[in-house]
Chains A and B, each alone.
Chain A
Amino acid sequence: MSAALVPTREAARVMDVCNACRYCEGYCAVFQTMTTRRTFAESDLEYMSNLCHQCNACYHACQYAPPHEFAINVPRAMADLRAETYERFAWPARAASAFQRNGLVTAIAVSVFLALLLGFLLFLQDSTFEQHIGPGAFYAVISHATMVVLGSVSFGFAILAIGIGMRRFARSIGLGPVRLSHLRHAGANVAEMRYLGGHTPDGCNDIGESFSTARRFFHQSTLWGFVLCFASTCVATLYDYGFGWEAPYPVLSVPVLLGTIGGVGLMIGCSGLFVIKRRCDPAPVSPRFLGMDYAFLFLLFMVAATGLLLLAFRETTAMGLLLGIHLGFVLGFFVTMPYGKFVHGGYRFVALLKYAQEQ
């Protein structure tokens, strides 16, 4: 039996027991999907593992959880397989081993290296330590063209790689033609984070046996923080290319407001999720995710923190160095995006679309 088959076989074993029990069918889409099947093909399990949001309710409710001899641990089995699917569908396939190598070390090393490199290169030029104020101030330190090339190449590649991975995953699980109603259904699930307890006042089992809405809150803070930061970048791009208004923009401008609120949201969300991860019961968690999770939270936090620092000190002589460090973390984030925890959003969305189609 190859190593790749182990998580699939365990997930299949667990689902066979669960399907004879069904006590958890009221919890989430995984169990609803389970009850529509009698046997579980590899593609079914790939799909179900990405439907699982690791809320852990089924683990704490399970009379067969270890040390029972049946040793049923659905979130762990699903997470082990989910990590496996990220590697299985990654593009290019060669890069998939980045998931296997300690994701934490990889992601942090890449981003810190990039941040230092940019910082060091900037250190060598005098303009870095001069004060720049007014439109085009950032470009006095790093040229507009350099920024555009670095950003668009790294982000463009990340989007391409993630897109190909999602497409491979969608094909494997048999996603049909996507209609507007499917998008609405899946989108609503994401918006309310239904499967982290968003549809109940109780929330999910974020730390242990008790329910709480903390994990959902911090996840939403991170997600919407990220969305606002992305929106800020889009608006700034429009300002630059559409209206010819050059950054930096005033504090009360749309891009800065979006970015500030988004950055604060990311810092709060990532810190909260980090604390929850440190404190949570390790039993239902896959060790394959730990490195990935911490790396992702660290990078997002650093992108937001360095961005806000840059905003705070952009009118001082520290701006040049802070800009270099911020862009370093942004680039590091982009480069590791397709081979880290970021992909969970895409895969889970595809799985939710499939779930919408099965309704």
Chain B
Amino acid sequence: MIVGGGHAALCAAITAGEAGAKVLILEAAPRHMRGGNSRHTRNLRAMHRAPTATLTGTYTEDEYWEDIERVTAGVTNESLARQMIRESEELVTWLDERGVRFQPALSGTLSLGRTNAFFLGGGKALLNTLYRHAEAIGVEIRYASEVTSVAVDDGRFASVGLENGATVDAGALIAASGGFQSNTDWMRAAWGPAADNFLIRGTPYNTGTLLRALHESGMRTIGDPTQCHAVAIDARAPKFDGGIVSRLDCVCFSVVVNQNGERFYDEGEDFWPKRYAIWGRLVAQQPEQIAYSVIDSKVTENFMPSVFPPIEAATISELALELEINPAALEETIETFNAAVQVGSYDPTQLDGCRTAGVSPAKTNWALPIDTPPYYAYPLRPGITFTYLGLAVDADARVLRDDGTPAPNIFAAGEIMAGNVLGQGYCAGTGMTIGGVYGRIAGAHAA
């Protein structure tokens, strides 16, 4: 039995089904919303020792590991992380053999063509293909079947209870039901009232019910409840399910201020795809969990178009009024910033070293004076992708019990156990790699 319906669940179901097991998928969402956060994804990060049809150059185990070690600042499990990395090499081929199509890196792929394999059509296209394949090999899929309780007997999985009151048993359980980011109460318990201002980028169905139930049944959890993959996104996005179009790629070419009109971090530290995952947390720490990315008309074409039009004004003080920031404060911030910009050779395609001097925080790349009206602002809020507090697992994806021994027939894959690899930070495409790799491992061992 697999609880969940995203990439990890399907990789587990297909692996177990192909090994001859009788497989049931319990997906909480209705069919049109199936697939958890996978429906909003578009790539996975894969190791490769030579260029492939979709991946350029090489991406070795050590380089991949260094990337994971850096973004997590070492809050990771090296042996699991390296296992994920090694297994990622075969994952692309495995998916391809089951009908998933990949595309070469194009305009929207954010210069990740070397490290990340992009699904043709995105995550929903991948899901459609995997669901079709799963059905073809006899996997049973029940939609709108939310699991609300779990019965564990002496450390062994026995059955789950569904929302409609039914009980379903199975020889083994694979928990692949995601994080708990869509559970407002749990988020508030972790973050306090600030959580009310968070937007959830993906599915509203990831409420962590199974995660909590397994924890309360004696399974060990890992990770900090406030750690998550959090991106700065457009504040006007819907509360749930806004997905990729709420992204804003303008931050590194802008000046970002909080509601007090103050800057709070180096906007030009690195390319946006390498920094987007720290900005959710940065904005979450600002008053009212809101910030504004301010640009002038010089740089409007340097980043991907976004879905919500910017707030526009002829002067900085008018812009401040639109944003309900004290005009004097914003004007002072911009003037100070402009005065600190050093002469350089601006180039949005590389780390150009155009920087400020004598202002704190500094802006270390792409620093241009904000002086050419009209001025524009994009409001930013933390956009939560998924939480990292999850089930602790071993190398077979077996969930560990409180005493540290693995449960014989309980497995976990995907976001629900991503915290084993990602203690903090994020590296684009890792979520889908964890799902695919541990989905396959869990499916193989559960079968």
Chain A residue numbers with a CB within 8 Å of B241 are: 63, 68
Contact status A200-B101, CB under 8 Å: yes
Find A38's partner among B122, B244, B301 (CB 8 Å cutoff): B301
Contact status A61-B128, CB under 8 Å: yes
Contact status A63-B122, CB under 8 Å: yes
Contact status A23-B101, CB under 8 Å: no
Among B101, B104, B122, B132: residue with most chain A CB under 10 A: B122
Q: Is A342 an interface residue (CB 8 A)?
A: no
Bound CA–CA A62/B99 (angstroms): 18
Give the contacts of B73-127 with A (CB-CB under 8 A).
Answer: 99, 101, 103-104, 106-108, 118-125
CB distance from B310 to the nearest CB of A (A): 12
Contact status B128-A26, CB under 8 Å: no
Bound CA–CA A23/B247 (angstroms): 13
Contact status B305-A210, CB under 8 Å: no
Q: A35-B107, A63-B123, A210-B132 are in contact. Are A26 and B118 (CB under 8 A)?
A: yes
Bound CA–CA A125/B161 (angstroms): 83
Contact status B125-A25, CB under 8 Å: no
Identity of the chain A residue whose Cβ is nearest the Cβ of B243 in the assembled complex: A63
Chain B residue numbers with a CB within 8 Å of A60 are: 121, 124-125, 128
Chain B residue numbers with a CB within 8 Å of A67 are: 32
Chain B residue numbers with a CB within 8 Å of A69 are: 238
Digitize B238-259: 1 where CB-to-A-CB distance is under 8 Å, 0 elsewhere. 1001011101000000000000
Contact status A27-B121, CB under 8 Å: yes
Chain B residue numbers with a CB within 8 Å of A57 are: 121, 125
Digitize A335-358: 1 where CB-to-B-CB distance is under 8 Å, 0 elsewhere. 000000000000000000000000
Among A21, A26, A63, A209: residue with most chain B CB under 10 A: A63
Find A25's partner among B107, B301, B307 (CB 8 Å cutoff): B107
Chain B residue numbers with a CB within 8 Å of A17 are: 245, 307
Q: Is A19 an interface residue (CB 8 A)?
A: yes
Identity of the chain B residue whose Cβ is nearest the Cβ of A202 in the assembled complex: B101
Chain A residue numbers with a CB within 8 Å of B132 are: 209-210
Find A16's partner among B42, B120, B305 (CB 8 Å cutoff): B305
Digitize A260-280: 1 where CB-to-B-CB distance is under 8 Å, 0 elsewhere. 000000000000000000000
Q: How many residues of B contact A (CB 8 A)?
A: 32
Q: A20-B247, A22-B108, A202-B101 are in contact. Are A63 and B39 (CB under 8 A)?
A: yes
Q: A64-B245, A200-B101, A209-B128 are in contact. Are A21 and B108 (CB under 8 A)?
A: yes
Chain A residue numbers with a CB within 8 Å of B40 are: 63
Identity of the chain A residue whose Cβ is nearest the Cβ of B306 in the assembled complex: A20
Find B121's partner among A32, A35, A61, A68 (CB 8 Å cutoff): A61
Bound CA–CA A17/B244 (angstroms): 10
Q: Is A24 an interface residue (CB 8 A)?
A: yes
Contact status B107-A26, CB under 8 Å: no
Digitize A1-43: 1 where CB-to-B-CB distance is under 8 Å, 0 elsewhere. 0000000000000001101111111110000100100100000
Bound CA–CA A38/B304 (angstroms): 8
Q: A61-B128, A63-B124, A210-B132 are in contact. Are A26 and B104 (CB under 8 A)?
A: yes
Find A62's partner among B108, B124, B307 (CB 8 Å cutoff): B124
Contact status A27-B120, CB under 8 Å: yes
Q: A38-B301, A64-B243 are in contact. Are A22 and B124 (CB under 8 A)?
A: no
Find A61's partner among B106, B108, B122, B304 (CB 8 Å cutoff): B122
Q: Is A299 an interface residue (CB 8 A)?
A: no
Bound CA–CA A256/B125 (angstroms): 46
CB distance from A321 to the nearest CB of B (A): 51
Digitize A169-193: 1 where CB-to-B-CB distance is under 8 Å, 0 elsewhere. 0000000000000000000000000
Bound CA–CA A42/B256 (angstroms): 35
Identity of the chain B residue whose Cβ is nearest the Cβ of A38 in the assembled complex: B305
Identity of the chain A residue whose Cβ is nearest the Cβ of B240 in the assembled complex: A69
Bound CA–CA A202/B101 (angstroms): 10
Contact status B245-A24, CB under 8 Å: no
Bound CA–CA A39/B122 (angstroms): 23
Q: Is A58 an interface residue (CB 8 A)?
A: yes
CB distance from B233 to the nearest CB of A (A): 11
Q: A16-B305, A67-B32 are in contact. Are A22 and B121 (CB under 8 A)?
A: no
Chain B residue numbers with a CB within 8 Å of A21 are: 108, 122, 243-245
Digitize B119-156: 1 where CB-to-A-CB distance is under 8 Å, 0 elsewhere. 11111110010001000000000000000000000000
Contact status B122-A23, CB under 8 Å: yes
Bound CA–CA A202/B103 (angstroms): 14
CB distance from B49 to the nearest CB of A (A): 25
Identity of the chain B residue whose Cβ is nearest the Cβ of A32 in the assembled complex: B106
Chain A residue numbers with a CB within 8 Å of B304 are: 19-20, 22
Chain B residue numbers with a CB within 8 Å of A26 are: 103-104, 106, 118, 120-121
CB distance from B289 to the nearest CB of A (A): 22
Bound CA–CA A35/B106 (angstroms): 10
Digitize B299-315: 1 where CB-to-A-CB distance is under 8 Å, 0 elsewhere. 00100111100000000
Chain B residue numbers with a CB within 8 Å of A24 are: 121-122
Chain B residue numbers with a CB within 8 Å of A61 are: 121-122, 124-125, 128
CB distance from B231 to the nearest CB of A (A): 14
Identity of the chain A residue whose Cβ is nearest the Cβ of B128 in the assembled complex: A209
Chain B residue numbers with a CB within 8 Å of A202 are: 99, 101
CB distance from A282 to the nearest CB of B (A): 15
Bound CA–CA A1/B437 (angstroms): 53
Chain A residue numbers with a CB within 8 Å of B118 are: 26
Bound CA–CA A60/B103 (angstroms): 17
Chain B residue numbers with a CB within 8 Å of A70 are: 245
Bound CA–CA A60/B125 (angstroms): 7
Bound CA–CA A26/B40 (angstroms): 16
Bound CA–CA A21/B241 (angstroms): 13
Besides A26-B120, A38-B301, 16 new A-B residue pairs in contact (Cβ under 8 A), listed by A number: A20-B307, A21-B243, A21-B244, A21-B245, A23-B119, A23-B125, A24-B122, A27-B120, A32-B106, A38-B305, A57-B121, A61-B121, A62-B124, A63-B39, A63-B241, A64-B245
Closest 9 A-B residue pairs measured CB to CB?
A22-B108, A26-B103, A23-B122, A61-B121, A61-B125, A20-B307, A20-B245, A35-B107, A26-B120
- 21 A-B residue pairs with Cβ-Cβ distance under 8 Å, sorted by A, are A16-B307, A17-B307, A19-B304, A20-B244, A20-B247, A20-B304, A22-B304, A23-B125, A24-B122, A26-B103, A26-B121, A32-B106, A60-B128, A61-B122, A61-B125, A63-B243, A64-B243, A64-B245, A68-B241, A202-B99, A210-B132
